[in-house]
Structure 1
């Protein structure tokens, strides 16, 4: 009996102890172990410098207003510029400085005063929602990038730290240009398509020149046979082959992709314009259309003769298609300008509309080169005339501006017959009757002859396509291949 009482007493004590530990009572103190959180960035940080790196929608005034603003990093929140991230999570990556700044911002870290080989990229998020990225340069210096604006923060209390001062040795804000922008501003190239007529055979031949400049250095002029034109689905090559049948020669105009674009499985075969008893010469090649001057031929008295010349503007993807109507190339109002131009020409000749067919007129037009620009020409039975209309739109040519003006360049090069200015206004290409001359354009006003290239007699342009930035390197490699 005594043993049973002892056993009951022990069980009762254990039961009381268990109940006591699990009952909320002021007599039952709760002991909680405090979690220790090791934050990669702690405390208060102050913006003391800003730098514009590239284009930005942020104004200079807004950037100045960021100076002296604080970023607060605590265990339960991160606060900056009036925005709070509660219960933040931090992810830290150690990256190579040169690689990171080049890949993400296209700038050299040295231009920011950052000489560390590695930096930490700290991503702040909450519940898998991104908040911000901060780049930690050292223990006392971090930076933040947003919309072309870089902000530098120093840890409060570290103002006298030499390691910080070495990294922010330029207290005033400045504007730096990203390498991408530099490339765009200081690299430009011209694909210039040319044609010339062989005086012995009377046949036209075509070639393409590649003229480029990189950081004010003109590269040697490159050339290749036929017309090389950049298109949305890759580069195409355009050419003309002669074909002889029934004592007549005619021209086969062809176009073919120079390189296969993985995203375009179609359009990989050569397109050929095969019109019987017709010779053609190329007047203009754009990224989507080709302008031709055609003549029907016939055989008489042991001699090939011509009749019925006409213009045609054809899509490169369908060289056997119908000539594009003038009104569709531009707009309905343009057709009215075509009629006005025709009337002016007829009046000059003292002729009437007579047998001029408006429908034929709408397709009998061309793009050709004169006085440093692409112009529009129409054709009727009485001859060819200028169409009084704005310069060809971007469907036909993307860029066709001159700087300085044609007259200014003509004063410098009196024997000039044609000219082109790069979009970056860093060099000018001039064509004379015998030479192609390349001038550096300093301060956008002064022409300095850099190099010359010999032209064929009577050689003239049928295409001009410009590019800038990183595409200059891409086009150069492609052209060299």
Structure 2
């Protein structure tokens, strides 16, 4: 598209038009007509096509809806708002239309499955899927138990260790340790996997490339939850514990997290006094990870939360907590592809779209011409949810991840990290 034509389309997207006959779909149709590859024309047909010719075509299409226009000061109406990220219908761009599109992204997906015990506790299991480009399409390259994630310059693993079913007290702890790098050789995963004598249940709500969100409860009080955000070193430090003392639990307070983005005052005003600044969570809303918190017990920041309902905070998370968390297609575009979509993730390169359905993940090369015809489909277990989406967006990292993860995701949990 010529620059003048692009400027013209941007002016249309900004308004000031209210949606009636003219809407984002008409804008998209105009853009598609301008961008669509054109078959070879006779020389006389080329005259006037660029520049003013394109503008004339756009004007003709606009006048087709002239009698339905209405003018106002509110901008283009009909915008679509996603939790944690606002996207307008006017930002839609053609999908599955680029014959020259190439794939340069790889994805590590972390999944959690839950089951209820006889005591009312939730027992969780985890697995990691690695999706990468292969011969011009996305393929499942490797998968394995636990959560394998990039942390710093190395790969780490977060896993869960549960007590035996006939144990006196049920427990499930999280352990974290390096799989690669100098420290990996010093790690004894077998020792870390010894069952905890502390009757504490832990599960993951979110895994970033540095921070995780954890939910805890004592096994004799399954409905009295604690929720913390921790960095990886804090998770590793509690892999072995002699007792559970909430006041001593290592964590990242909400104010410390928001300090990175300069939003401390806003976050404090939003969270206090109804919800606490010490206990908070990172949870998934359609299209985005968001900060959320719950009511404290009588204002006590280290007591179990009295309300299981999490309140989403309007204060955006710093990028260090949810890097590469922009959904590039609009939600309306996602629903056109998969009407039953529950959630969606997209790559920072804008070449991979992961649509979450009730029982499967559908992975599209969404810029690629014809990419909607044969997507990669991966089955989900009943009640399985995503807790991690980590991206490699450069070819050198994709190649490196392929080499390392092919081995790391096939190593039995009992021997990983053992000298």
Q: Alpha-carbon deviation of 1:431? A: 1.2
Matching residue within 212, 220, 225 for 2:145: 225
Structure 1 residue 397: deviation in Å? 2.7
Out of 250, 256, 265, the position equivalent to 1:328 is: 256
Q: Which residue of 1 aligns with 2:217?
A: 295
| Separation of aligned partners in 1, 2:205 and 2:186 | 24
Q: Does 1:385 align with 2:302?
A: no
2:291 to 356, 359, 376: 376
Q: Secondary structure at the match of 2:310?
A: strand
CA contact (8 A) 1:185 1:424 kept: no
Determine if the alignment matches structure 1 residue 194 to structure 2 residue 86.
no
Tell which deviates more after alignment, 437-446 or 417-426: 437-446
Q: For 1:461 and 1:417, locate their aligned partners in 2 and report how far apart those are by CA, in whole Å.
A: 11
Task: Give the number of the structure whose residues are more often strand, by fraction.
Answer: 1
Distance 2:342 2:293 in 1: 22
Taking a change above 3 Å as real, the CA distance of residues 421 and 448 of structure 1, as seen in their structure-2 partners, is: farther
Q: Which SS does the other structure have where 1:203 is aligned?
A: strand
1:397 correspondence with 2:325: no
1:207 deviates by 0.4
Tell me: CA distance 1:309–1:267, structure 2 relative to 1, closer, same or farther (3 Å): farther
Tell me the residue number matched to 1:437: 362
Structure scoring higher RCO (CA < 8 A, sep ≥ 6) equals: 2
| 2:199 equivalent to 1:277 | yes
CA pair 322-429 structure 1, distance change in 2 beyond 3 A: same
Q: Per-residue CA shift, 1:234-265, capped at 9, x if unaligned? A: 10111111136973212211011112x24x68
1:249 aligns with 2:175: no
* Residue 310 (structure 1) aligned to one of 226, 245, 257: 226
Deviation per CA, 1:417-452, whole angstroms, max 9, x where unpaired? Answer: 121112222221111110111112136997444221
Secondary structure at the residue paired with 1:196?
A: strand
Instruction: Pick from 157, 162, 166 the counterpart of residue 237 of structure 1.
Output: 157
- Preserved CA contact (<8 Å) 1:196 1:456: yes
User: In structure 2, how many angstroms separate the alpha carbons of the residues matched to 1:328 and 1:433?
Assistant: 36
| 275 and 294 in structure 1: CA distance in 2 versus 1, 3 angstrom threshold | farther
Residue pair 2:255, 2:268 contacting (<8 A) in 1 also: no
Q: Determine which structure has more spread, i.e. the larger CA radius of gyration.
A: 1
Q: Distance in 2 between matches of 1:204 and 1:425?
A: 32
Q: 1:377 to 1:210 in 2, by over 3 A?
A: same
Moved more, 239-248 or 218-227: 239-248
Structure 1 stretches of 5 or more lacking a match? 1-183, 299-304, 344-352
Where does residue 165 of structure 1 map in the other structure?
A: none
In structure 2, what is the Cα distance between the partners aligned to 1:266 and 1:477? Answer: 19
Over 3 Å counting, the alpha-carbon distance change for 1:388 and 1:454 in structure 2 is: same
Query: Within 5 Å, which residues of 2 pair with 1:48-59?
Result: none
Query: How far 1:228 moved relative to its partner?
Result: 0.4
Structure 2 residues not aligned, in runs of 5+: 1-100, 239-248, 296-305, 408-419
Aligned pair in 2 of structure 1 residues 328, 200: CA closer, same or farther (>3 Å)?
Answer: closer
Contact map agreement 2:362 2:376 (CA 8 A) in 1: yes
Distance 1:448 1:227, change over 3 A: same
Deviation at 1:365, TM superposition (A): 0.6
TM-score normalised over the length of structure 2 = 0.59
Would you say 1:412 and 2:332 are equivalent positions? no
Query: Which whole-Å CA distance do the structure 2 matches of 1:327 and 1:434 have between them?
Result: 37
Q: Tell me if structure 1 keeps the 8 A contact 2:215–2:228.
A: yes
Asked whether the 8 Å contact 2:129–2:140 carries over to 1, the reply is no
Structure 1 Cα separation of the partners of residues 346 and 169 of structure 2:
42
Counterpart CA distance in 2 for 1:442 and 1:246 is: 53
Taking a change above 3 Å as real, the CA distance of residues 200 and 277 of structure 1, as seen in their structure-2 partners, is: closer
Q: CA deviation at 1:292?
A: 0.6
Describe the shift of the 1:250–1:449 C-alpha distance in structure 2 as closer, same or farther (beyond 3 A).
Answer: same
Q: Which moved more, 1:316-325 or 1:196-205?
A: 196-205
Offset at 1:315? Answer: 2.0
TM-score by length of 1: 0.52
1:407 offset after TM fit, Å?
Answer: 2.8
2:394 matched to 1:461? Answer: no
| Aligned partner of 2:282 among 355, 367, 376 | 367
